[in-house]
């Protein structure tokens, strides 16, 4: 078993040695930073090559959300933390139910702040944790594993496939190396890390960008954005209260007092406030229009 794992790791791009940083321990601070920065600059171009696969994943998620399904992320270490982070940021950004996008990390929530490295090797635990979160075949599971071979993640993906759910894999090794049975594989091959095997670096950056794209594009397709502005945000802090007023003011031309008043009449719902002002209707009519047009502000304004 150790020999088999050794053979797997030695052939992974994410475990290779980076020739650009072989002498990094002998460089000045500025030279170290320039090496890291130069490597980081390659990440967006690698992601660009995977946009066709990311597109497939977004279309799958939109269909799933419209049918009442949910997105679950699952990963270990950095990958797991990034999934939990992206999931946690959806409700305040897009006004989603916290259950709509969920993150699961090997070792449980304690692993967010304290490394639980051995937990990634527990293949069966991935499936157990997934099902304990109420995962069903109406949902989508997105496994996140820079190396693609993380047992915890593979166990969860196998379970999801077993019950008939759709699956996505985000990894940093090439499609040609992926032997995992998933519906969509997103392979952002960022190459060897500046510090060999430290996938919290380029691989982590690439993963964060991909997850941003998955949820942001999906939410735009679900009518959560008007123009390029968040209009389904939740007024859960003073900052978000003021951002809501500013959003209404920028889109409608209303002054501060009017924006505040209309938002109060709309129970703090930015979309409702926008339709009230732009369509010249009351709160109840604005809500009906939004329901009729699946939450899209543009369509609700001019039905």
Q: Which domains does the chain have, with CATH numbers?
A: 8-221 (3.40.50.10490), 225-301 (1.10.8.1080)
Residue reference for tokens 């696969």: 53
User: What count of other Cβ atoms lies within 10 Å of the Cβ of residue 162?
Assistant: 10
**Token pair for 167:** 């699956």
Instruction: Give me the residues of the chain with pLDDT under 70, please.
Output: 1-11, 117, 234, 303
For residues 258 and 111, what is the distance between their CA atoms, to the nearest angstrom? 46
Q: What are phi and psi of 229, to 5 degrees?
A: -115, 140
Q: Give the per-residue pLDDT at 140.
A: 98
CB atoms near residue 290 (< 10 Å)? 21
Catalytic residue numbers? Answer: 89, 120
| pLDDT of the residue at 92 | 87
User: What does the pLDDT read at residue 113?
Assistant: 81
**Helical segments of 22-72, H only:** 29-40, 43-49, 51-66
Given this model, what pLDDT does residue 11 score?
62
Residue 120, C-beta contacts closer than 8 angstroms, at least 6 positions apart? 76, 77, 106, 150, 151, 152, 153
Cα–Cα distance, 299 to 171 (Å, whole number): 38
Question: Do the beta carbons of residue 173 and residue 187 sit within 8 Å?
Answer: yes
| pLDDT tens, residue by residue, 150-208 | 999 999 999 999 999 999 999 999 999 888 899 999 999 998 888 888 889 999 999 99
Confidence at residue 62, expressed as pLDDT on a 0 to 100 scale: 98
Q: Kind of pairing, strands 166-171 and 140-144?
A: parallel
């Amino acid at each position: 078993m150790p020999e088999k794992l050794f053979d797997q790791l030695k052939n992974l791009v994410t475990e290779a040695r980076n020739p650009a940083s072989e002498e990094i321990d002998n460089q000045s601070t500025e030279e170290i930073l320039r090496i890291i920065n130069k490597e980081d600059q390659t990440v967006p171009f690698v992601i660009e090559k995977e946009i066709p696969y990311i597109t497939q994943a977004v279309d799958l998620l939109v269909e799933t959300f419209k049918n009442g399904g949910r997105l679950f992320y699952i990963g270990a270490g950095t990958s797991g933390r990034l999934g939990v982070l992206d999931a946690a940021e959806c409700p305040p950004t897009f006004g989603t139910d916290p259950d709509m996008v969920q993150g699961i990390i090997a070792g449980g929530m304690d692993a967010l702040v304290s490394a639980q490295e051995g937990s990634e090797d527990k293949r069966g635990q991935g499936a157990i944790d997934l099902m304990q979160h109420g995962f069903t075949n109406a949902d989508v599971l997105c496994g996140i594993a820079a190396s693609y071979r993380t047992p915890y993640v593979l166990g969860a993906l196998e379970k999801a496939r077993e019950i008939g759910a759709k699956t996505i894999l985000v990894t940093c090794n090439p499609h040609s190396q992926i032997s995992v049975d998933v519906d969509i594989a997103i392979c952002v091959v960022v190459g060897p890390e500046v510090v060999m095997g430290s996938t919290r670096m380029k691989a982590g950056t690439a993963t964060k960008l991909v997850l941003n794209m998955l949820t942001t594009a999906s939410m735009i397709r679900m009518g959560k954005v008007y123009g390029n502005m968040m209009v389904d945000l939740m007024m859960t802090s003073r900052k978000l209260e003021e951002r809501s007023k500013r959003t209404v003011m920028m889109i409608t031309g209303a002054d501060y007092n009017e924006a505040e008043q209309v938002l109060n009449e709309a129970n703090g719902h930015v979309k409702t406030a926008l339709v009230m002002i732009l369509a010249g209707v009351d709160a109840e009519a604005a809500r009906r229009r939004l329901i009729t047009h699946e939450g899209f502000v543009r369509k609700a304004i001019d039905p």
